[in-house]
Amino acid sequence: MKKFTIATAAAAGLSAAVLGLAAPAFAAPSGSQNAQETISALEAQGNRVIVNRESGASLSDATVVGVRQGNEIQEYTWDAQRDDRVLETVGRIVYVDVR
């Protein structure tokens, strides 16, 4: 019985650790925005946006049908003491499907 209790506690702890370390969900701007407003909002957050057009409509008339998260954008920056360079995530690549 003692081994079962230890195994159960270990499994619960491992599950909690995995859930706690999970990456946060990616959220695109929502609401009744057109594609241009959505793209501008994503760029303002430091993302680089790649647009996949599914029609010939202008971005101000198009609607967003999908947003997918790509790779992180990383750059070297100076640390607080300005004596060492540190690799930091400064944004993401975001793919926006518009129609």
Could you state, in chain order, the average pLDDT of each consecutive group of 10 residues for the chain (99 residues)? 52 49 52 86 96 94 95 94 94 96
- Quote the domain boundaries for residue 55: 2-98
Could you give the number of structural domains in the chain? 1
What is the torsion angle, in degrees rounded to the nearest 10, for the CA atoms of residue 41, residue 46, residue 51 and residue 57? Answer: 30
Query: What are the tens digits of pLDDT across the range 35-61?
Result: 999 999 999 999 999 999 999 999 999
Q: Which among 90, 93, 4 has a CA at the least distance from the CA of 48?
A: 93
